[in-house]
Each structure stands twice: as C-alpha cells, then as structure tokens.
Amino acid sequence: MTELPEVLTIADVASVFRVTPVTIHRWTKKSREGKSCFPQPIGAKFQHLRWNRDSIFDYYLHGESLPVENQSDRHVAAMKALRKRGVVE
C-alpha cells in the first residue's frame, strides 16, 4: 500500500475499498451532507476528486463501518427492471 502516491484519485480510492467509483461519489456526497465520516476530498466541489493517502488509510483502518445503503432494496429494484425488459424471468 505504500506504493500508492501521496494524493489518490477516485480510481485509487475505489481500489482500496474494492468498490466502484460511483460508490465513492455516493460516499463523498453523504460525507458532505454530514451523514458519514468518509474523508473529504482535496479541492473544490466541481474539480477532480483527490484524497490524501493518509486520511484514506486512517479511515480504512480506524474509521466507522463503510457507509453502505440497504443493498437489498437496490437488488429488488434492479431485478424488477430486468424482469420488465424480459432479461430475467
């Protein structure tokens, strides 16, 4: 993990947490709303998202549990959409 640069991109952070970049965007939004303690990115809101490596690893090692929503609701909605399109019976 020390081979990562000092400033991490969204792809780097996603690989550390083993999630997609869209999930990192969602966690960042919740953090900005005050609903999560996920580390704030460096820079302005509409610039490229970058994080300090140390803050990400501190959160990864000592932070709260990952801010995951109710995945079952998302699964049910996705399955309904697939059934509607005729992909799944």
pLDDT digit string (tens) for 40-76?
A: 898 766 668 899 999 998 888 876 655 555 566 777 7
Flag whether 2 is in a domain.
Answer: no
pLDDT reported for residue 34: 87
pLDDT digit string (tens) for 10-46?
A: 999 999 989 999 999 899 888 888 888 899 898 766 6
DSSP string for 4-39: S-SEEEHHHHHHHHTS-HHHHHHHHHHHHTTS--PP
Flag whether 11 is in a domain.
Answer: yes
Flag whether 1 is in a domain.
Answer: no
**CATH code of the domain in which 40 resides:** 1.10.1660
Flag whether 31 is in a domain.
Answer: yes
Q: Which domain holds residue 22?
A: 7-85
Domain count, the chain: 1
Flag whether 24 is in a domain.
Answer: yes
16/5 Cα distance (integer angstroms): 13
**pTM for this predicted structure:** 0.65
